[in-house]
Chain A
Amino acid sequence: MPKDHGIGASPKRREDVRFLTGAGNYTDDINIHGQAYVHFLRSDVAHGTIKSIDTSEAEKMPGVVKIFTGADFEGVGGIPCGWQVTDKDGAPMKEPAHPVLAQGKVRHVGDPYAAVVADSLEQARTAAEAIVADIEELPAVVDMGKALEPGATKVHDDLDDNLCYDWLFGTDTETTQAAFESAAHVTTLELVNNRLVANPMEPRVAVGEFSRANGEHTLHTTSQNPHVIRLLMGAFVLGIPEHKLRVVAPDVGGGFGTKIFHYAEEAFCTFAAKACNRPVKWTSTRSEAFMSDAHGRDHVTKIELALDKDNNFIGVRTDTKANMGAYLSTFASSVPTWLHGTLMAGNYKTPAVQVNVKAVFTNTVPVDAYRGAGRPEATFQLERVIDKAARELNVDPIRLRRQNFVTEFPYETPVAVAYDTGDYHATMDKMEELIDIPGFAARRAASEKNGKLRGLGINCFIEACGIAPSNLVGQLGARAGLYDAATVRVNATGSISVMVGAHSHGQGHETVFPQVVAEMLGIDESMIDIVHGDTSKIPFGMGTYGSRSLAVCGSAMVRATEKIINKAKKIAGHMLEASDSDIELKDGQFSVAGTDKSVAWGDVTLAAYVPHNYPLEDIEPGLEETAFYDPANFTYPAGAYACEVEVDPDTGKVTIEKFVSADDFGNVVNPMIVEGQVHGGIAQGIGQALLENCAYDENGQLLSASYMDYAMPRADDIPHMESYVVDHSCQTPCTHNPLGVKGCGEAGAIGSPPTVVNAVIDALHSGGHAHVSHIDMPVTPSRVWAAINDQ
């Protein structure tokens, strides 16, 4: 019988009531008396010199409050990067300036170079049309290969070239070379991990406010991590001390990584609110989102896999170019390195793994973390090359993977991380059961009868989540700690507010976190509320990304709740005239072990705040505790996925007929929410695999700048629910956090793209198109048709 409350139960998401009934309070719902509106002028060329910006006519237009250009931000800090990567030669990465508004040059389509603040948005837009900007277009660099050629146009004139860093990692070159020289077989694959636009349903919004009364700034913003914004913007950009800066991220309509970063528009609205002495609001249009939200992925990779004569993996070597775009976004530098290179061992005990990543500046929108962030790129190349190897060696792709699985834990990889626990055979077994391997031949025959080619693709993945142990990431170049924090405030009548550093923007924290506290205290979940998203209310936690909320912030919440229980037992012991070591807490009752003497949760909480009969000489009144939790290691969710596709050989169209996942997330608190996260993640991965393509032309114009050309996955692009099975019954609990949880938010997006592509290649081979060894994502109908027909 499934549990109906506490850990392991699936109560419906309490936040959905307000989201689904129009009662949510999103940033764009925030309107402050007297607010003005900002419209940004954005470059329509990819690269150009700003010769002059004449705002004189525009300044006279109706409703105009003030017009800003880059000159207004001289002396103000630039947008910082939060992670310093060290080059293979020991030099720090190159960090070009990133002004709030462009100074001297524009460097990508969408780069803001002026801003009009006016009484209304329409007035701001109209005035913007009267600004005369003389921007001399320069040649643009878009292709990473060309950007690295000697003499290439430089994105940043003050740098030597367009190379941000050249990072070499893992096994030393000599050992790796030796592995390849001794190999019986080497499989090589060159591939592209396509650039994506995150496209959260809610575009970004920022509302800046300044109080002349107390000198306090407030920024309301669509952020996954308000404290990170407060730290970066306060300390590095605008020089506002933390106690004078409040950052509020209320209901946020999806993030997928792209709302982690500190953006120029946030700094602008905060700055302009003081300069104009009025609240200043910016709401991104969808068109602006395409050219100003940080993009994701965009790697070009050559991967080689060396196998011995028995098909054991003996070496992996990769050479990746990672697009940074025109500027370094907040965590851009860490994504292709510490979130990618460290995962190149995959689920396999390959002894030699060497990763080389060249990060490249181009005249494109900055690229940063997007659901999975580095780990999908690692998984895609590794699992594609393994599949290709299986085909070349004519061995079963499942058997080849199983033979090379890591089976003993903890396992030290050659790429710096140590897996604490896992059981990759178990998830593979589960996946095989769910996809029904024996029935595939009949399903393929049925498809062929309808003129379709059917393929089966399988995939394994591992990810490093629960980001992150601060002392480790500090050594690796992180400029922030990645702990989290929670305060458990028990009220006099026993209800509880839990203030958490994690931010919920679709994850369901408001439902899940109370399940944990309720389980620990034995009280009803409805007595517990979660408070998040406001730096003036919550402790200094680091927010939500990297599948970390429950594993890191949830652990802090557990620690704080343990402190509450310890103190409450002391109070109960006093009330029951017993030693607190004899007090047991069960179902919300404190009792003296072995007796029928007890007091209820509410009696104890009331005593804490009405301390008439209370051991004031031993303990303080009140019942509120804070804990900070810094994880000892990453967590390592892993899984095995399978997918069946049909390919229409006449049109090249791919449809996903069946998709199953077997994940090991460790312990699961709310199975319904976990399943929802995986369903959503797989849908996003299907989007990357089949549909989504952020494309530039050679002049740096964004070709897919709206939904007319950028294809998002829709309901009919994913299989019907009965053929879309997500399983999390294989559970090896995390060994180092108190809940034994690993994180589930990114798994689907990491595990699914190679699964889909492997299935398409399998389908094409079954149809006699054996010359097709790879198709780059998105595997669109035209690309499949071109591959089949050698076009």
Chain B
Amino acid sequence: MYSFDMERPTSVADAVKALARDEAQPLGGGQTLIPTLKQRLAAPSVLVSLSGIAEMKGVCKTDDGRLSIGGGTTHAMVARNAGDIPGLASLAANIGDPAVRNRGTIGGSLANNDPSACYPAAALATGATVITNSREIAADDYFEGMFATALEEGEIITEIRIPVPEKSAYMKFEQPASRFALVGVFVAKFSDGVRVAVTGASEEGVFRWTEAEEALSANFAPEAVDGLSVSGDGMISDLHGSGAYRAHLVGVMTKRAVAAAS
């Protein structure tokens, strides 16, 4: 990697200040950025580590009953402490391997918005709110395509606030090599309806499968998805599967998520 300066602020305010420096880049758990730096594919002049900011870590319940997760909370901590949303806890428990889960953070994953990452599906399916140092962004407005989000330069995800569904589940069909999601489906059932979000499949990144949401809102059962399908057009097609295969898996994983929802 190229050489760079390193800052380790202990408050969000200091982190924002540090990120105002030229070519500064925030560093969460480093699970994407560090390999990128090692391959010399990025050359920030200063890395601002967010891992020393205590106020960005941890899981708790808000007064209005939502689950609040600090942006710097690791996957392992989410897996342990997000039991109110079983789909989210199991999602976190199955990201990568223990080393990844003990370093990688929910804020880092959402900021990166890898099209095959798991968290975007959970955030979108639950209608979560992404809270930054300067504003609140609804999940429906946050994801803007592969590796693209509504975040501005230097904006830090400090918290994710998630409504607690009555039932939820995440089903991931793993890409055989990376074990990222070839297709991952998060299903969240609320009293006023069901939301379904799909990751891994689309060239546009995470998306809501509204047709399935309507069917499942009427009847929350696997067979409600029978006969529904998403188009293979616009789906990722690569070494690991065609667009048509991914489209097929969206249906299979949705049904399995509904069956597993608790």
A residues in contact with B173, CB < 8 Å: 651, 653, 781
Nearest to B39 among chain A residues (CB) is A287
In the complex the two chains form, is A691's CB within 8 Å of B176's CB? Answer: yes
The answer to the question of B11 belonging to the interface, with a C-beta cut-off of 8 Å to chain A, is no
Nearest to B237 among chain A residues (CB) is A782
In the complex the two chains form, is B176's CB within 8 Å of A781's CB? Answer: yes
A residues in contact with B249, CB < 8 Å: 651
The answer to the question of A791 belonging to the interface, with a C-beta cut-off of 8 Å to chain B, is yes
In the complex the two chains form, is A791's CB within 8 Å of B239's CB? Answer: no
Within 8 A of A (CB), among B227-262: 239-242, 244-245, 248-249, 252
- Identify which of A261-269, A325-333, A437-445, A704-712 touches chain B: A704-712
In the complex the two chains form, is B242's CB within 8 Å of A709's CB? Answer: no
With an 8 Å Cβ cutoff, the count of chain B residues facing the other chain is 17
Given contacts A651-B249, A703-B239, contact A780 B178 (CB under 8 A): no
Contact with B242, one of A650, A693, A791 (Cβ below 8 angstroms): A791
Bound complex: CA of A332 vs CA of B96, how far in Å?
Answer: 37
In the complex the two chains form, is A785's CB within 8 Å of B245's CB? Answer: yes
In the complex the two chains form, is B177's CB within 8 Å of A782's CB? Answer: no
B residues in contact with A287, CB < 8 Å: 39
Nearest to B244 among chain A residues (CB) is A791
In the complex the two chains form, is A709's CB within 8 Å of B248's CB? Answer: no
In the complex the two chains form, is B177's CB within 8 Å of A125's CB? Answer: no
Bound complex: CA of A782 vs CA of B248, how far in Å?
Answer: 10
Bound complex: CA of A653 vs CA of B241, how far in Å?
Answer: 12
Bound complex: CA of A704 vs CA of B244, how far in Å?
Answer: 21
- Supply 15 A–B pairs (Cβ within 8 Å), ascending by A: A125-B40, A287-B39, A650-B252, A651-B252, A703-B239, A708-B180, A710-B177, A712-B177, A781-B173, A781-B176, A781-B241, A781-B245, A791-B242, A791-B244, A791-B245
Instruction: Looking at the assembled complex, report how far the CB atom of A780 sits from the nearest CB atom of chain B, in whole angstroms.
Output: 6
What mask results when residues 513 to 534 of chain A are scored 1 for a CB within 8 Å of chain B, else 0? 0000000000000000000000
Given contacts A651-B173, A651-B252, contact A707 B178 (CB under 8 A): yes
Contact with B248, one of A690, A704, A707, A785 (Cβ below 8 angstroms): A785
Bound complex: CA of A786 vs CA of B248, how far in Å?
Answer: 11
Bound complex: CA of A653 vs CA of B239, how far in Å?
Answer: 15
B-contacting residues of A (Cβ < 8 Å)?
125-126, 287, 650-653, 690-691, 693, 695, 703-704, 707-712, 780-782, 785-786, 791
Bound complex: CA of A650 vs CA of B253, how far in Å?
Answer: 10
B residues in contact with A709, CB < 8 Å: 177-178, 239-240
Bound complex: CA of A781 vs CA of B245, how far in Å?
Answer: 9
Bound complex: CA of A791 vs CA of B246, how far in Å?
Answer: 13
Bound complex: CA of A125 vs CA of B239, how far in Å?
Answer: 31
In the complex the two chains form, is B245's CB within 8 Å of A707's CB? Answer: no
Bound complex: CA of A126 vs CA of B40, how far in Å?
Answer: 10
Nearest to B173 among chain A residues (CB) is A651
Bound complex: CA of A711 vs CA of B177, how far in Å?
Answer: 4
B residues in contact with A690, CB < 8 Å: 176
Would you list the 8 A-B pairs with minimal beta carbon distance, nearest first?
A782-B241, A711-B177, A711-B176, A708-B178, A782-B245, A650-B252, A709-B177, A703-B239
Nearest to A129 among chain B residues (CB) is B40
B residues in contact with A710, CB < 8 Å: 177
Bound complex: CA of A690 vs CA of B2, how far in Å?
Answer: 39
A residues in contact with B242, CB < 8 Å: 782, 786, 791
Given contacts A651-B173, A651-B249, contact A782 B240 (CB under 8 A): yes
A residues in contact with B244, CB < 8 Å: 791
Nearest to A791 among chain B residues (CB) is B244
A residues in contact with B240, CB < 8 Å: 709, 780, 782
Chain B binding surface SS class: loop
In the complex the two chains form, is B177's CB within 8 Å of A704's CB? Answer: yes
Interface centre among B176, B180, B245, B249 (most CB of A within 10 A): B176
Given contacts A703-B239, A780-B240, contact A786 B177 (CB under 8 A): no
B residues in contact with A126, CB < 8 Å: 2
B residues in contact with A693, CB < 8 Å: 239
Instruction: Looking at the assembled complex, report how far the CB atom of B170 sits from the nearest CB atom of chain A, in whole angstroms.
Output: 16
Within 8 A of A (CB), among B213-229: none
Nearest to A690 among chain B residues (CB) is B176
Interface centre among B177, B178, B240, B241 (most CB of A within 10 A): B177
Bound complex: CA of A653 vs CA of B244, how far in Å?
Answer: 16
Contact with A695, one of B40, B239, B241 (Cβ below 8 angstroms): B239
Bound complex: CA of A712 vs CA of B179, how far in Å?
Answer: 11
A residues in contact with B2, CB < 8 Å: 126
Nearest to B242 among chain A residues (CB) is A782
B residues in contact with A695, CB < 8 Å: 239
Bound complex: CA of A103 vs CA of B239, how far in Å?
Answer: 33
Bound complex: CA of A690 vs CA of B177, how far in Å?
Answer: 11
Bound complex: CA of A603 vs CA of B261, how far in Å?
Answer: 77
Beyond A126-B2, A781-B173, A785-B245, 8 additional contacts (C-beta under 8 Å) are: A650-B252, A707-B177, A707-B178, A708-B178, A709-B178, A780-B241, A781-B176, A786-B245
Given contacts A703-B239, A791-B242, contact A780 B176 (CB under 8 A): yes
A residues in contact with B40, CB < 8 Å: 125
Bound complex: CA of A690 vs CA of B240, how far in Å?
Answer: 12
Given contacts A782-B245, A785-B245, contact A704 B178 (CB under 8 A): no
Bound complex: CA of A785 vs CA of B245, how far in Å?
Answer: 8
Bound complex: CA of A704 vs CA of B240, how far in Å?
Answer: 10
Instruction: Looking at the assembled complex, report how far the CB atom of B247 sits from the nearest CB atom of chain A, in whole angstroms.
Output: 11
Bound complex: CA of A2 vs CA of B180, how far in Å?
Answer: 46
Instruction: Looking at the assembled complex, report how far the CB atom of B130 sits from the nearest CB atom of chain A, in whole angstroms.
Output: 26
Nearest to A126 among chain B residues (CB) is B2
What mask results when residues 1 to 26 of chain B are scored 1 for a CB within 8 Å of chain A, else 0? 01000000000000000000000000
B residues in contact with A791, CB < 8 Å: 242, 244-245
B residues in contact with A707, CB < 8 Å: 177-178
Given contacts A710-B177, A786-B245, contact A704 B252 (CB under 8 A): no
Instruction: Looking at the assembled complex, report how far the CB atom of A180 sits from the nearest CB atom of chain B, in whole angstroms.
Output: 38
Instruction: Looking at the assembled complex, report how far the CB atom of B35 sits from the nearest CB atom of chain A, in whole angstroms.
Output: 10
B residues in contact with A711, CB < 8 Å: 176-177
Bound complex: CA of A781 vs CA of B39, how far in Å?
Answer: 31
Instruction: Looking at the assembled complex, report how far the CB atom of B8 sits from the nearest CB atom of chain A, in whole angstroms.
Output: 23
Bound complex: CA of A332 vs CA of B202, how far in Å?
Answer: 42
Interface centre among B2, B39, B240, B242 (most CB of A within 10 A): B240
Bound complex: CA of A690 vs CA of B239, how far in Å?
Answer: 14
Instruction: Looking at the assembled complex, report how far the CB atom of A649 sits from the nearest CB atom of chain B, in whole angstroms.
Output: 10
A residues in contact with B180, CB < 8 Å: 708
Instruction: Looking at the assembled complex, report how far the CB atom of B184 sits from the nearest CB atom of chain A, in whole angstroms.
Output: 13
Nearest to A713 among chain B residues (CB) is B176
Contact with B239, one of A651, A652, A704, A712 (Cβ below 8 angstroms): A704
Instruction: Looking at the assembled complex, report how far the CB atom of B70 sits from the nearest CB atom of chain A, in whole angstroms.
Output: 29
What mask results when residues 172 to 204 of chain B are scored 1 for a CB within 8 Å of chain A, else 0? 010011101000000000000000000000000
Instruction: Looking at the assembled complex, report how far the CB atom of B256 sits from the nearest CB atom of chain A, in whole angstroms.
Output: 8
A residues in contact with B252, CB < 8 Å: 650-651
